Chains A and B, each alone.
Chain A
Amino acid sequence: ILNVEQSPQSLHVQEGDSTNFTCSFPSSNFYALHWYRWETAKSPEALFVMTLNGDEKKKGRISATLNTKEGYSYLYIKGSQPEDSATYLCARGGLRNNDMRFGAGTRLTVKP
């Protein structure tokens, strides 16, 4: 089984802080890296899908980078807001059709 690891498991920051977390994954047979945002009592929602080494994606205050050679991705949140509080999941897609392996997530709490 190929493990996707996320760190830290949880993070508490103050409103306005910038933060980042890590997703590490096996680089062999890699096809795509997904980030999802999962709010309590809701469903995970896609933030980014990245496939190429060096990819950088941005959506508002959230951005992500991808290094497929060393097997890691970073998610950055600039100027965290309380509404950013959620669990952030990453998932590695392999070459086999629809093969998706998720990490356990990083739970972010932003205090006003």
Chain B
Amino acid sequence: EAQVTQNPRYLITVTGKKLTVTCSQNMNHEYMSWYRQDPGLGLRQIYYSMNVEVTDKGDVPEGYKVSRKEKRNFPLILESPSPNQTSLYFCASSFTAQGEQYFGPGTRLTVT
């Protein structure tokens, strides 16, 4: 089954404790993105990747890091999480740069 998976689905953590949210897709897509969803706002792009070792900042990259060492995986790293990073996070992948995006199930992160 074609899918995008994310782990964990739910995470409660404390300020400053480094965490990683994993994302994996099995569709051989070149393009992958991370978004955050906050109430009243649209999905905002954090980072995206066009291929292995090729990443670029989206609209809200501050406080986040990503890596793309393998085509299927695109982890999101929060080196020192803060409460303003409490949000719902989605990973997405697409076959082409502007093709339809396939979204993962989401990760709800709470930073206290």
A binds B: yes
Q: Judging by beta carbons under 8 Å apart, are B105 and A103 in contact?
A: no
Interface centre among A43, A103, A104, A105 (most CB of B within 10 A): A43
**Which residue from B43, B56, B94, B105 sits with its C-beta under 8 Å from A102?**
B43
- Further 9 A-B residue pairs, CB within 8 A, beyond A44-B43, A97-B56, A99-B45: A34-B100, A43-B90, A43-B103, A44-B90, A98-B48, A98-B49, A98-B56, A100-B48, A101-B45
In the complex, how many angstroms separate the beta carbon of B112 from the nearest chain A beta carbon?
23
Q: Judging by beta carbons under 8 Å apart, are B106 and A43 in contact?
A: yes
In the complex, what residues of B have CB within 8 A of residue A34's CB? Answer: 100-101
In the complex, what residues of B have CB within 8 A of residue A103's CB? Answer: 42
Q: Judging by beta carbons under 8 Å apart, are B98 and A51 in contact?
A: yes
Task: Tell me how many residue pairs across A and B have CB atoms closer than 8 Å.
Answer: 65
Instruction: Count A interface residues, CB 8 Å.
Output: 25
Given contacts A32-B98, A34-B101, A97-B50, contact A102 B44 (CB under 8 A): yes
**Which residue from A45, A49, A93 sits with its C-beta under 8 Å from B103?**
A45
In the complex, what residues of B have CB within 8 A of residue A64's CB? Answer: none
Report how far A47 CA is from B53 CA in the complex, Å. 30
In the complex, what residues of B have CB within 8 A of residue A93's CB? Answer: 97-98
Interfacial residues of chain A within 1-16, with CB under 8 A of chain B in the complex: 1, 4
**Which residue from A49, A102, A104 sits with its C-beta under 8 Å from B99?**
A49
In the complex, what residues of B have CB within 8 A of residue A4's CB? Answer: 42
In the complex, how many angstroms separate the beta carbon of B57 from the nearest chain A beta carbon?
11
